[in-house]
Amino acid sequence: MYYLEVVILVVSFIGFLALGVPIAYSIGLSSLFTMLVSILPIPAFTTIAQRMANGLDSFALLAIPFFILAGQLMNRGGIASRLIEFAKVIVGRLPGGLAFVNILACMLFGAISGSAVAAASAIGGFMNPRMVKEGYDRSFAAAVNIASSTTGMIIPPSNILIVYSLAAGGVGVSIGALFLAGYIPGILVGLSLMVVAGFVSYKKRYPTAGKTGFVEALKILLDAIPSLFLLVVVIGGIVAGIFTATEASAVAVVYTLLLSMIYREIKAKDIPGILLDTVGTTSIVMILIATSIGMSWVMSYENIPQTVSEALLSLSDNKIVILIIINLILLFVGMFMDMTPAVLIFTPIFLPVVMRLGMDPVHFGIIMVLNLCVGICTPPVGSVLFVGCSVAKISIDKVIKPLLPLFVAMIVTLLIVSFVPELSLWLPRLFGF
Amino acid sequence: MRRIIDSILEKLLISILTLMVINVVLQVFARFAGISIPFTEELAGFLLMWTGLLGAGYATGKGMHLAIDIFPRKATPENQVKFNWIINGFVILFAFLVMVVGGFRLVYIALSLDQLSPVMQIPKGYVYLVLPFSGIMIVYYSILNIIEGPSQPHETGDTIAEKLN
C-alpha cells in the first residue's frame, strides 16, 4: 500500500499552506517531497518540470486567458451596466428589487464572462453602492453579490468546466456537453438564492427598484441585445460544432473589444493596461494549473487514486452514500483550495469511483463544480469572497452571517442536482451528446 | 533594476498575449475562408506555456500569488520577518530545484535527443528554455522580497478589505 506517500503529500501540503507559502508552490513542493520517496532527486526535478511545461502546452487551456480577457473588456466596456439595466427591467419590481437585480445580473455577466471573480467585481462594483444608498445593509448586498457570482461558473461558458474536461482526460468528456449540462443547475442555484434574498428583503422591508415604462424598457432591452448575443455566438458555435471552446473564446475577445469600442468606453490607450491585468490573473491561474498537473501526475504514479478509491468503496458500494461522502470531502477541500487545483487534483481520484457506480462523467462534473462554488465563497481561501468583500469595502467577518442562509440554499441545490441526474443530463441529450 | 526588469517582463507578457489572440483569431478566420494554417494550434500551446511560466515570475515580483496568510499576518513584527524568510525560502527551493535544475536538464535532454515540434519543427529544447528562465526570475524576485522585508504582504482580499476599513 502507499500510505506513506499519502501521508507525506497531505501533511507537507497542509504544512506549507499554514506557513503562508503561496498555494501554487505548496502544491509543487509537496508533490516534489512525495516523489523523492521513490525517485532519485534529479530525475524527480526533471519530471515535475516536464509535467508543468507540457501541462500548459494545451490548446484547450488557452480558452482561460481569453475568457479572462473578454471579462476584463466587458468589465470596463459598459457591458456590465447594460446587463444590470436589463436585469432591473425584469426583476426590479419585486420587493427587495435590487437584490434580485444583483443576482440576475451576476448570472448573466458570469455566464457571458465565464468567471465568478469577474462577475463579483463588475456587478458588485455597480450594485453595492446603489443597494447601500437604497437602505440595504452593506453586508447583505455583498453577500448576495458573492453567492450569486458563482452561478457564472456553472452557466456556460465556464472556464472551470473546460479544466474539468481536461482533468477527466481519457474518459472523454465533451466541453459542449458539459456546457449544456450547466444551464439548468446554474439557473436553479440562481433561483434558490433569489428565494433566500426575497425572504430576507421581505422581512427587512427593503424597497422595490420601481417599475420601468414600456418605451424605456424596450430601449433597455435593445441596448442589452448586443451583449446577450455574445452568449448565442459562443454557446451556439460550440454546440453546433462550428468552433472549439478556445476558438469561441477568441471570438468573444474580438466581439467584446469591438462592442466596447463602439460604446466608446474603451480607447486604444486603455488596451495595454487591460492586457496586463489579464496577464496577472492568467499567470496566477496558470501556475496553479501547472503545479496541480504535476501533483496529479505524482499521485497517479504513487497509485493514490486507486488507494483512495478502494478505501471509499470498502466503506460502502451504495451510490448515494458514496456521493454524500465525496460531496462532504469536496466541501471541506473547497474551504482550503481554490477551484482550479481542486478540480485538477480530485477529478482523477473521484471520477473512477463514481463511474464504477454507473454515474455519468458529465453529471459528476456539474456536481463537483457546484460543490466547489460553495468553497470559493468561504474563508480561509475563497477568491470570490475576497474580491466581493474588497469591492464592497467590507471586512470578511461581517459578510459571513448574511452568507450563511445563502450557503444553505446552494447546498440544498447541490443535493438536488446530485440526486436528480436528469437536471444535468437532459439538455445535452436533447442536443445529441 | 527591479523596475527595469518589471517593465521588460510586462512588455514581453503583453506581446505574447496579443500574439496568442491574433494567432487563434487567424485560425478561426482561416478556417472560414477554407485555408488551413498548420502551425496555429502548436504555436498557441507554446505561447500559453510561456505566458503561464513567465507570468509566474511576474506574479512573484508583484506578490500576487494566492496564499493563506492567517498565521503570518497575526505574528509579531519580528516573527513576520522570519515568516517572510521561510516563505520566500521555500519558493526559492522549488523554483531552483524544479524549474532551474530540472528545467535545464529537460532542455539538455530535449536538445541531445534532437526533439523537434511536430508541425513547426522547432527544437523542443528551446521552447523549454522558458522553465529555467522563469525559475531564475522567481528566485530573483524572492530574494528581493527577503531583502525588502515583509512590508508588502500577499494581497489577498482579506488584507485588501482590512486596508479599506
Per-residue model confidence as pLDDT tens digits over A85-140 = 899 888 888 888 899 999 999 998 888 777 788 888 888 888 898 899 888 999 99
**Given an 8 Å threshold on Cβ–Cβ distance, is A23 in contact with B65?**
yes
Mean pLDDT, rounded, for A170-187: 90
- Which residue is closest to A338 within chain B, CA to CA? B66
CB < 8 Å to A116, chain B: none
Which of A32, A49, A278 has the CB atom closest to B106's CB atom? A49
Instruction: Tell me the chain A residues in contact with residue B14 when contact means C-beta distances shorter than 8 Å.
Output: 272, 275-276, 279
What value, to the nearest 5°, has the Cα angle with vertex B25 and ends A122 and B36?
155
Among chain B residues, CA nearest to A255: B25
Rounded to an integer, what distance in angstroms lies between the CA atom of residue A273 and that of residue A268? Answer: 10
CB contact under 8 A, A275 and B17: yes
Please tell me the distance from the alpha carbon of residue A6 to that of residue B8, in angstroms, as a whole number: 42
> What's the pLDDT tens digit per position in B65-77?
777 777 777 788 8
Spatial CA neighbour of A407 closest among A387, A382, A427:
A382
C-alpha–C-alpha distance, residues A31 and A40, integer Å: 14
Partners of A54 in the β-ladder: none
Residue B52 in contact with residue A270, Cβ under 8 Å?
A: no
In terms of CA atoms, which chain B residue is nearest residue A25? B91
> Which of B21, B52, B64 faces A253 most closely, judged by CB atoms?
B21
Q: Which of A207-211, A280-284, A420-424 has the lowest mean pLDDT?
A: A207-211
Which of B70, B83, B158 is the best substitution to test chain A (most A C-beta atoms within 10 A)?
Answer: B158
Provide the pLDDT for residue B139.
96
C-beta atoms of A280 and B131 within 8 A:
no
pLDDT(A6) > 70: yes
Contact assessment for residue A160 and residue A117, using Cβ atoms and an 8 Å cutoff: no
- Give A-chain residues touching B72 at CB under 8 angstroms: 19-20
Across chain B, mean pLDDT equals 86
Instruction: Tell me which DSSP letter residue B74 carries.
Output: H
Nearest to A389 among B25, B44, B161 (CB): B161
Of residues B75 and A36, the one with the higher pLDDT is A36
* Longest Cα–Cα distance in chain A: 73
Q: Chain B partners of A120 at a C-beta cutoff of 8 Å? A: none
Contact B128/B39 with Cβ under 8 angstroms?
Answer: no
pLDDT of residue B154: 44
C-alpha cell at A43: 530525475
CA distance A293 to A303: 15
Which 3 state secondary structure label does DSSP give B141? Answer: helix
Please list, residue by residue across A137-155, b when 16 or more beta carbons sit within 10 angstroms of its beta carbon and e when fewer do: bbbbbbbbbbbbbbbbbbb
Residues in B closer than 8 angstroms to A61, CB to CB, are 48
Chain A residue nearest residue B10, CA to CA: A276
SS3 A310: helix
Contact A45 B98 (CB under 8 A): yes
Q: Which three cell numbers stand for residue A211?
A: 417599475
Which among A423, A346, A376 is positioned nearest to A153, based on CA atoms? A376
Q: What is the C-alpha separation between B14 and B104, in angstroms, rounded?
A: 26
A286 chain-B contacts, CB cut-off 8 A: 48, 51-53, 55-56
Instruction: Residue A20: list chain B partners with CB under 8 A.
Output: 67-72, 83, 87, 154
User: Measured between alpha carbons, how far is A369 from A346 in angstroms, rounded to an integer?
Assistant: 11
Average pLDDT of chain A?
89
Contact A287 B55 (CB under 8 A): yes
B-chain residues near A395 (CB < 8 A): 161-162, 165
pLDDT for position A1? 53
Q: Which one of A12, A17, A21 makes the best mutation probe of the B interface by having the most chain B beta carbons within 10 Å?
A: A21
| Structure confidence by residue, pLDDT tens digits, A309-326 | 888 888 888 889 999 999
Residue of B nearest to A57 (CA): B45
**C-alpha grid cell, residue A205:** 422591508
Of A28, A65, A276, the CB nearest to B98: A28
Q: Would you call B65 and A24 a contact, using CB atoms and an 8 Å cutoff?
A: yes
- ipTM metric: 0.88
Per-residue pLDDT for A56 more than 80?
A: yes
The C-alpha of A424 sits at a distance from chain B's nearest C-alpha, in angstroms, of 30
For chain B, the distance separating the N- and C-terminal CA atoms, rounded to the nearest angstrom, is 34
The confidence score (pLDDT) of residue A282 equals 86
What burial class does residue B122 get, using C-beta atoms within 10 Å of its C-beta: 0-12 exposed, 13-18 middle, 19+ buried? middle
Which of A251, A221, A269, A252 minimizes the C-alpha distance to A90?
A221
Instruction: Residue A343: count other Cβ atoms within 10 Å of its Cβ.
Output: 25
- Give the 3-state secondary structure of A114-157: CCHHHHHHHHHHHHHHHHHHCCCCHHHHHHHHHHHHCHHHHCCC
CA dist., res. B59 & res. A281, Å (int): 9
A306: which 3 cell numbers? 486507486
Cβ atoms within 10 Å of A414's Cβ, excluding its own: 23
When scoring A16, A17, A26, A46 by the number of chain B Cβ atoms within 10 A, the one with the most, hence best to mutate, is A46
